[in-house]
Amino acid sequence: SYPHCWRCDNPLIYKAVGAWFMAVEPIKEQMIKNNQQITWEPEYIKDNVMGKWLENARDWCISRNRYWGSVLPVWKCTGENCKHLEVFGSKKELEDKIGHEITDLHKHIVDNYTYDCSKCNNAKMQRIPEVLDCWFESGGMPYAQLHYPFENKEFFEKNFPADFVVEYIPQTRGWFYTLLVLSTALFDKPPFLNVIAHGTILAGDGRKMSKRLKNYTEPIDLINQYGSDAVRLSLMNSTFTKGQDILYKDSKVEEELKGTILALWNSYSFFVTYANIDNFQPKDCVTTFTNELDLWIHSKLQELISNTENALDNYQLQAACLQYAEFIKDLNNWYIRRSRRRFWKSENDSDKFEAMTTLYQVLVTLCKLMAPFIPFTAEKIFKNLSKSESLHLEDWPKPNPQMLNPELNQKTQLVQEIVSLGLAIRARHKIKVRQPLQQINLVINSKLNLDDSSLETIQQELNIKQINIKEDFSEFAVLRLELNNRKLGKLYPTQMKDLIKASKTGDYQVQDNSVQICGQTLTEDDYSFSYQGLQKDDVEANQNLVVQLDTSLNEQLIKEGYVRDTIRQIQDYRKIQDLVVDQRIKLQIHSPSADVTQAIQQDMQTIQQETLADSIEFVEALDGHIAEVGEYIITLNLL
């Protein structure tokens, strides 16, 4: 446990020596006040980590007994009885004193500069041997880099304090701290206005990254494999930017590449495919939109712009990244997927050009929003869509209030939740979405009304014939009382266990807009109600919804499922054959099942329209593409 030199392993000795200190305690209260003017992310750093450190600030030892370092500009008389000191404020002051130019300020040079003492006139003034603590140099960075106050005075005063700095949390005892000490002492100002104090990046095994242990992938290898944008995004979209330590794994980089960057690229690729077919140009953009899908994605885009700007204004990088990922998911999995047929139309009708315009405008704006996070990918897409010189020379997008429709956003979200719950029931029963089902029962605890368009969307997405909206949920779910534990815990700390127990057992009474429970009256801010689905295979529920799906199948539904399967298999075969999206085909089918054959024949027109087939011919034998339709195997051939 005894200390040893880390270089030579010799034991160290403790020795009290004279040192130079900066008087920090007299300005401690000013430092605490200036810290309050700084926006910290995460917020708790301000009063907790940094605040506690400032409360215990002590005078700062700024001298070091070393060879390398900036010299302390203090000269002391060498006379035995003279204690005269002189401190120099610039190189020029020292040059004037010694009478010649100085070209090197290193210790071994400056220590040779002496001059006569002005007090005793009997001895020389010699520089003291100490050098500055390197943290003093770090704290003086804002001034030193501009040679202030000798040069750039106007520029410095215009740009100080700095708008933003970033470093890891322990710099509250290092760089952040010394910056604040010097800026307070010199100007009584904070040195910066906004700061992100991030966590530490650990290796995937939970230990520090070590070249000796080789427990991490070299950054350049990650960049070569996944791209610099993916590496950048993997850090920004993590709790690392919120002051938490993270285990950095290659899989996180791959996840960002596939989940966000390639997803955006797929949206762009889809647009380019159909824009090239129709020779779409930005000048062809329409100015009005009537299709609800277009209105919705434009509204979501305005919401994204506002939310992103709010997140970035508050230096919450991960919050912005999560917004992007969610929007791209909506763009691909809802807007593009549900609009696909609109792009297929062979005639240049207005609806198709509304869709083309919408996707074009969304992609251009999305690139601008994501430019700080994926600069290379966003620039590539933007320059291919626009004739502008560079994305990074464009103005930041501003939301258009006229295109924001909160009610439409909420209604679409409700529809998406219903679809999600319905798909969960299908997955539990292993029933493919291509298999039509007869009906769905819905219980909705919402002020929103589902219009005909919303009901039609639910039918299409869940592939069902009929929707029943029920008032009585008792057959499918129970209503649970959800307490606002954080608020009630402060109001009734000794009763919380009883309140929670009563809420779970149903021992309460609902009266208008209040709840009577355990002798207390709860108002609307104290609680909420949510549905809990009964333990049935065909029921799913969340806070505002109960979904019950009829999973029984009859002969007609099964045949319709065969048709859907056939269309899907033909489309997959087209991709395998690398056909262009508008290329028409002639199709041969061999089916050993009379049921499958009959189903296809009964809905031949639909299959031809969906697959761009000019004709469909049934043959007795065929050497072609093997495809699965329901429980049967058919063979396909394209002519």
Contact 438, 466 (CB under 8 A): yes
Higher per-residue pLDDT: 161 or 525: 161
> How many Å apart are CA 138 and CA 70, to the nearest integer?
11
Residue 41 lies in a domain: yes
Most confident among 288-292, 418-422, 516-520 (mean pLDDT): 418-422
Most confident among 20-34, 277-291, 479-493 (mean pLDDT): 20-34
* Phi–psi pair at 237, nearest 5 degrees: -95, 55
Same domain, 393 and 491: no
Same domain, 352 and 265: yes
Same domain, 168 and 283: no
Same domain, 96 and 107: yes
Taking residues 426-438, report their average pLDDT: 94
Judging by beta carbons within 10 Å of its beta carbon (0-12, 13-18, 19+), is residue 25 exposed, middle or buried? exposed
Same domain, 568 and 612: yes
Taking residues 261-277, report their average pLDDT: 94
> How many Å apart are CA 161 and CA 138, to the nearest integer?
15
Same domain, 119 and 32: no
pLDDT-based confidence at 605, cuts 50/70/90?
very high
Per-residue pLDDT tens for 89-132? 999 999 999 999 999 999 999 999 999 999 988 899 999 999 99
Count of structural domains, the chain: 5
Residue 308 lies in a domain: yes
> How many Å apart are CA 294 and CA 73, to the nearest integer?
69
Last residue of a domain, one of 117, 132, 147: 132
Same domain, 487 and 578: no
Residue 320 lies in a domain: yes
Please give the pLDDT value at position 565.
93
pLDDT > 70? residue 346: no
pLDDT > 80? residue 578: yes
pLDDT > 90? residue 447: no
Per-residue pLDDT tens for 551-570? 999 999 999 999 999 999 99
- 336-355 burial code (b ≥16 CB/10 A, e <16): bebbeebbeeeeeeebbbbb
The residues facing 131 across adjacent strands are 64, 71
pLDDT > 90? residue 345: no
Residue 147 lies in a domain: yes
Tokens 């277009």, residue located? 294
pLDDT-based confidence at 455, cuts 50/70/90?
very high
Please give the pLDDT value at position 84.
94
Within 10 Å of residue 260's Cβ, how many Cβ atoms?
24
Last residue of a domain, one of 109, 132, 155: 132
Taking residues 49-75, report their average pLDDT: 94
- Of 211, 204, 202, nearest to 244 by C-alpha is 202
pLDDT > 90? residue 283: no
Same domain, 47 and 192: yes
Peptide bond before 149: cis, by omega within 30 degrees of 0?
Answer: yes
Q: Which tokens go with 303?
A: 């919401």
Same domain, 141 and 272: no
Same domain, 175 and 33: yes
**Longest CA–CA separation in the chain, Å:** 121
Q: What is the pTM of this model?
A: 0.82
The residues facing 511 across adjacent strands are 514
Same domain, 53 and 164: yes
Percentage with pLDDT > 70 across the chain: 99
The CATH number assigned to the domain holding 333 equals 1.10.730.10
Residue 7 lies in a domain: no
Last residue of a domain, one of 387, 404, 421: 404
Higher per-residue pLDDT: 512 or 5: 5
Structural domain harbouring 142: 28-62+135-198
Residue 366 lies in a domain: yes
Residue 113 lies in a domain: yes
Residue 35 lies in a domain: yes
Q: Are strands 514-517 and 509-511 parallel, antiparallel or unpaired?
A: antiparallel
Same domain, 525 and 630: no
Most confident among 190-194, 202-206, 348-352, 520-524 (mean pLDDT): 190-194
